[in-house]
C-alpha cells in the first residue's frame, strides 16, 4: 500500500485537522467499508493514522460500527499500535467527570457483534487475559503526568450493547462488582486489534456518572457536553505527548502473511 503508518488512533477530526501534511486514504476491506476514510499525518516524528469510529458525521451508533473493517484497514496500513480513546461513564464516585482512566481490563456485555476474524475453517483462540498493552498503558500514565491531566492508571471497563444506557439495577450490578468505567465501543474493537497482532491502548474519558451512582450529584446534558469538550482538548494534548514518548515500532510483517503466521490451536 502506498501510504503507511505505525500508530493508529480511533478518533475524530478534532485530533488531526491541524496536521499540515495530512492526507486522506480510502482502504477497501474484505469486511466492507470502514467507518470513514483514514487521515494520515506526522505527529512527534511518527506517521499516525486517524479514523473516527462513529463516522465523520457521527452517524454510526455503537452496535452498527463495522469494527472488523476498521481494524483490518489499520492493519493494512502497517500499523502496530492502536490508541482507542472513548467517552465513558464512571461507575465509582471516586472516578470523576473530567478524569481519564487507562483501563487494563474489560467486561463484554454486548451481543450479536461480529467479534473475530477467525470464522473458520481454521479455529483460532486468541488470549484475552490481558486485553490491553501494558507497555502503552505505562507510557500513557507518563504522558498524563507530564500534561498534568488527572488520571487513574488502571481499571475495568464494562462494554454494553447500546444505544440505550443501563437501568439502575444494571448499573448497580456493575458498580457492586467493583468495576470502574462503562462504555459502548471497546468490545470487540480492542480484541480485534489483538487478533491482528497490534497493541491496543484504552483511554477512557469520563464525561459523567452512570445511572444511580450512590452519592454522586445528578448531571445535566449541558454539563456532559461541557465536560466532553474539555476532555477532547485534554486528549489532544495527551496524544501528542504519548506519541512523542512512544519508541518507533519495528517494521510490521507483510500483511498478506499475517493470518498464516498467527494461527494456532
Residues acting as catalytic residues? 208, 210
Determine phi and psi for 34, rounding to 5 degrees: -65, 175
DSSP structure class, residue 95: S
DSSP string, 176-245: HTT--EEESSHHHHHHHHHHTT-EEEEEEEEEEEPTT-TTPPP--HHHHHHHHHHHHHHHHHHHHHHHHH
- Collapsing DSSP states into helix, strand and coil, what is residue 81? strand
**237 exposure class (CB count in 10 Å sphere: 0-12, 13-18, 19+):** middle
Q: What's the gap between Cα 27 and its chain centre?
A: 19
Residue 129, helix vs strand vs coil = coil
Q: Are 50 and 39 in contact (CB under 8 A)?
A: yes
Amino acid at each position: 500500500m502506498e501510504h503507511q503508518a505505525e500508530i493508529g488512533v480511533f478518533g475524530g477530526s478534532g485530533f488531526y485537522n491541524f496536521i499540515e501534511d495530512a492526507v486522506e486514504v480510502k482502504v477497501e476491506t474484505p469486511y466492507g467499508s470502514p467507518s470513514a476514510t483514514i487521515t494520515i499525518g506526522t505527529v512527534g516524528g511518527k506517521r499516525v493514522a486517524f479514523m473516527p469510529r462513529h463516522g465523520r458525521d457521527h452517524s454510526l451508533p455503537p452496535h452498527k460500527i463495522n469494527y472488523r473493517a476498521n481494524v483490518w484497514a489499520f492493519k493494512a496500513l502497517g500499523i502496530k499500535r492502536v490508541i482507542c480513546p472513548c467517552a465513558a461513564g464512571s461507575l465509582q464516585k471516586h472516578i470523576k467527570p473530567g478524569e481519564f482512566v487507562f483501563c487494563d481490563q474489560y467486561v463484554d456485555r454486548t451481543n450479536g457483534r461480529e467479534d473475530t476474524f477467525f470464522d473458520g475453517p481454521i479455529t483460532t483462540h486468541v488470549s484475552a487475559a490481558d486485553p490491553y498493552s501494558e507497555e502503552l498503558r505505562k507510557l500513557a500514565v507518563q504522558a498524563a503526568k507530564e500534561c498534568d491531566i488527572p488520571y487513574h492508571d488502571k481499571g475495568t471497563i464494562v462494554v454494553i450493547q447500546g444505544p440505550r444506557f443501563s437501568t439502575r439495577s444494571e448499573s448497580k450490578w456493575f458498580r457492586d462488582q467493583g468495576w470502574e468505567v462503562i462504555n459502548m465501543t471497546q468490545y470487540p474493537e480492542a480484541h480485534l486489534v489483538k487478533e491482528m497482532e497490534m497493541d491496543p491502548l484504552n483511554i477512557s474519558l469520563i464525561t459523567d456518572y452512570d445511572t444511580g451512582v450512590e452519592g454522586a450529584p445528578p448531571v445535566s446534558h449541558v454539563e456532559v457536553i461541557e465536560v466532553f469538550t474539555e476532555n477532547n482538548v485534554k486528549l489532544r494534548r495527551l496524544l501528542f505527548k504519548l506519541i512523542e514518548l512512544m519508541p518507533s515500532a519495528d517494521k510490521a510483517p507483510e500483511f498478506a502473511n499475517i493470518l498464516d503466521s498467527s494461527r494456532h490451536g
